[in-house]
Amino acid sequence: MPKWWLISFLLLTSPIRAQEVAEEDIDLLAPEPEIEIQEQKTGILPSCEDERVLQQVQALLEEYNQEHPVNSIYEKRQRALQMRYMQKYDEEEVSGFTSKQNREVADKLLMTKINNGLNDNEIRLCKSNVEGTDFQPIYIMMYQNHNNETELYILNFLKSTLEELKTFL
């Protein structure tokens, strides 16, 4: 009989004692631990027709053309025509953009999303309107960086993918 009494006593009191100790360790006046909330991006990306965007793109392209002069009349004419067709941009859907459309742009989009932790709706992609010409379209990619600055990239303009044309709005 004493064994039965001892086993019953231990089974009945052990959960109660554990609960009492757990309640004693909790300090009701202590502040709750702060949960770090990821800072949401407050800025809104400008549209593809925004005047500031078009001015920045034009200035960046003109600066590049001054730093890299061409030698032949044919190349000068090509640049002048290309600059003419880079004044109007239409928004391109980021979520459906594939490497079949443009490999360089698709790679840059993917790397930007991965490196900056962005979703498709946090990036704006604009495509120059070059219909009816032999020119490749130029793309503008914009997104808000971690400092809430709008980064603007001009893609598919340079022959070398090692260089990039980038500015901030």
Length of the chain: 169
Tell me, what's the pLDDT at 160?
A: 67
Distance from C-alpha of 157 to C-alpha of 161, rounded to nearest angstrom: 9
pLDDT in tens, 72-131: 899 888 888 878 877 888 999 998 899 999 998 999 999 999 999 999 999 999 998 877
| Average predicted confidence (pLDDT) for the chain | 79
Residue that wins the pLDDT comparison between 110 and 14: 110
Domain edges within the chain? 51-168
